[in-house]
Structures are given as structure tokens and as C-alpha cells.
Amino acid sequence: MISKQRYRDLCNKESSIPLFSQAWWMDAVCGKENWDVLLVEKGDEIFASLPYFFYKSNNLMNIMQPKITQTNGIWIKYPPNQKYTRKLAFEKDIINELVLKLEKLPIANFNQNFHYSFTNWLPLYWNQFKQTTRYTYVIEKLDDLDNVYNNFESRIRRLIKKASSLVEVKEDCDIETFYKINKKTFERQNIDIPYSLDFLRRIDKACQKRNTRKIFYAEDKEGNIHATIYIVWDRESVYYLLGGEDTKLRTSGAHALLIWKAIQFASTFAKRFDFEGSMIEPIERYFRAFGAKQKTYFNIQKNYVTYPNVDSRYKQYYHLLNKWIMVKNQNRTVLGYLKNRGIEKVAIYGLGELGKRLYEEISNASEVIQFFIDNNKQEYWNNIRVIKTDDIKKMEKVDLIIITPIYNYQDIIKEFETYGYNANIVSLEYIINEIIEGVC
């Protein structure tokens, strides 16, 4: 508790700590008892911090990203006028000290997104962490709005012009109205919204108290709300947090107009506008069309649980199933992941227990599953064709093949290469990790 209070004091005076790592934000998205922080201190001064959200399973901590929180990760306060070589050495010392503190915790898994200002993950690599590169899109200079607008793709400018004649942009509808429109975006894709109204109320209350949020919405003359967006900010950046559109009114271009209004608003006090992703291809294409620049950030992971004398494949299954259950408890699904990416036709490789569980999860949209691939099974299972690998060229092309025997993933990939079959192939583990990391 002493560290948390010290961190609260630090956040109150240190403007370089990003919004999503601020103590008050962590209170709002995690609950005050469900997060903590590691500090590196020298004397009375704090030189680094690592705030983290956790939940416990079997008395072990699982550290992960909170909902609708793009990044956490390590924040470092650098001494002035450091040479580059000394800066790298300083980062190594700081990160090693934080890792030592982290590994004193009763920890099972670590999985966090780090802010894009953190660029040197090499000391974490030396400590057996793994990294996956993610992307966000940022408009870095807001001081010349004419230049910002001219960098929009022509289709975005057309949408803005069209919407300007159809709707009026208004500010700060109540959070219930926002949630109603926001929810429609998920309903359009047959996905459960992954957070409750009460959860959003809690965040909104914390943001309103600190004057760090604004809701823009577009309304026509008949009083219909076409779209809404919810932005938050710190002293450096404005972040596109959430948005939504009325399914029946999506063609008005209102959402693009709202983003433009938000950028104009951001230019009055902030240095940059951060779209917060996304790794989802259609969303990435849309955000990129606003002339934003691609920024890389790191997803950092490490598994701490070991099981002596247990076959490695069962260790992998245990970790996958644990994460899969966690995803389901948050009302997120593999089917939602597929729909988010416009994936309409899939094949499932493997008719073992994992393959059957995957079938059960997405069987409500039975038209998605085109066939199974399994070299040791019958020709049909639950009225769906089962083929062998060497017959795959005879089948209709699918958007994605999902590998469920994850322990043998690389050998299966080579098997497909042997038969000259070119397709998008991922493991079930990859999909679950993508969902957890918030890129779906």
C-alpha cells in the first residue's frame, strides 16, 4: 500500500506518465484492490514504475491488460543530458531491478502492452520474456489543421462533407445514450459487448471528475443519433477510446465527421491524436485513411508456471485452456474474433478435444465451418466433412485454417507446405492470445 500511495503522489506531479498508467485510471478500470505497482527508487526519488492489473488463480497472480486500456508497461524517468550509451545502460539497470521485484511475486503469467514510448525491450529478452509487435496510429502534429485535413484520404474528406449536410455535431450526451449506440456496433457483428454499462459509468465518473473526457455525437433533424465517439486525454495526447454507429445510419459519414471534430478539439491543447490501434484490418485501414502515422508498441509476455515430470504438450494445453476460459468469462469469443476480421469460412485442423471445443464455440454460426482436417478420423463428423491433409487441394478455398494441436504447429505448417497449399493458417493459441491482448 505504501508503494501505491507513493505512486499516486508521483502521478499527481509527473505529467509524462501516460493516461492509461495513471493511478486514478487503474482504480477505475481495475477496482482499487485489483492492481498494484512496482517502483524503482533511489533515495526519495522514483525513477521507474510498473503498474499492473491482476487476478488470482490457485493463489497465483495473472498479470494482464485491463479492459479498454491500450497500454501499461514500464515508465522511466531519465537523468538529464544522458549520452545514448549511458541511457541504454541505465534502462538495463532499471528493467533488471523491476524484473527482480516482479519475480518475487507469486506470479503465474505476465502479459502487458507497453506504451510506444518504451522502445528498448532487450533487457526483457535477456530475462526470457517474449515480445509481439503491435501497432497504433497517431497524428503527431496538430498545430496546422489545414495540413492535417489535407493528409486525409479523399474518401474521408467526402464522408466529412456528406455528413456535414446531414447531421449536427453535439457534445456530451449522457453515458447511457453513448453506451446504447456503442453497443449497436457490437450487435451488428453478433458480438456481446465486452464491458457493462456500470463499468463504463465508473470510468466516465473518474474522467469527468478530472475533466479528461468528452463525448461527441452526431444528430440529424429528426433527433436520430447517427454516431458517437468517446475521447480521453492526458497532457500529451488525446485518445480515441470508444465509438459507435447506428447500424441503419452508417452511410451518413457521421463517424468520420466526429473524428475530425475530435482532432480539431485536440489541437487546442494536445500535441497528438492517438487512434489506439487497431490490429483489425478494416479498422486499421479506416484509421490510416486519416493520415495518421504508424507507431509500434510491444506486447510483453512471460509464463512463470512450470510442471516437472509433465509432458510439455499438456502444459501447453493447460495454459491455453486457462486463457480460453478467461476470455469466455469476459464475454469474448473466437466467433467474435472471426467476425471482426471479416472471416466467413474456416477449416478446423484436428478433431481431438480442442477441435471439438472450438466447434462447439462457433457452431451457432455453422456456415462458418467448411470442413475439418484430420488424418485419423472418419469422413464426416456432426454432418461436416472430414478430410485428410493430402485431399485439401480438392476442397473449396477457406479464409482461415485454425490449428488445434498447438504442440505440433510447426510440423503441421511444413505438412501444408509439402502439399503446396497456400492459405492463411494460425493456431488456436494465437487467436486466444490476440483476443487477450485486445486486438480483436
Residue 125 located in a structural domain:
yes
Q: How many domains does the chain have?
A: 3
Residue 203 located in a structural domain:
yes
pLDDT of residue 309: 54
* Ordered mean pLDDT values, 10 residues apiece, the chain (440 residues): 88 93 96 95 92 88 91 95 94 96 93 94 95 92 95 96 96 94 85 87 96 96 96 95 92 96 97 84 87 93 70 76 84 84 88 90 79 82 83 78 86 76 82 73
pLDDT of residue 440: 44
Listed residues 303, 327, 357: the one ending a domain: 303
Residues 162 and 260 in one domain: yes
Residue 261 located in a structural domain:
yes
- Chain-centroid distance, C-alpha 370: 29
The C-alpha angle with vertex 37 and arms to 34 and 42, in degrees rounded to 5, equals 165
Residues 219 and 102 in one domain: no
Residues 258 and 168 in one domain: yes
Residues 233 and 345 in one domain: no
Residues 147 and 121 in one domain: no
**In contact, 295 and 171? CB cutoff 8 Å:** no
Residues 160 and 121 in one domain: no
Residue 285 located in a structural domain:
no
Residues 236 and 356 in one domain: no
Amino acid at position 355, single letter: G
Residue 279 located in a structural domain:
no
Residues 12 and 110 in one domain: yes
pLDDT of residue 375: 81
**In contact, 65 and 20? CB cutoff 8 Å:** no
Residues 413 and 349 in one domain: yes
Residue 288 located in a structural domain:
no
- Take residue 1 and report the three cell numbers written for it: 500500500
pLDDT of residue 31: 92
Q: What's the chain's length in residues?
A: 440
Residue 231 structural domain: 141-270
- CA 290/CA 266 separation, integer angstroms: 15
Listed residues 303, 324, 353: the one ending a domain: 303
- CA 229/CA 289 separation, integer angstroms: 17
Domain of residue 28, CATH code: 3.40.630.30
Report CA-CA distances (Å) from 239 to 197, 265, 394.
20, 12, 48
Domain of residue 343, CATH code: 3.40.50.720
Residues 316 and 424 in one domain: yes
Strand partners, 56: 61
Residue 292 located in a structural domain:
no
| Other beta carbons less than 10 A from residue 133's beta carbon | 10
Q: Is 397 helix (H, G, I), strand (E, B) or coil?
A: coil
- CA 72/CA 22 separation, integer angstroms: 9
Residues 123 and 148 in one domain: no
Q: Give the predicted TM-score (pTM) of the model.
A: 0.77
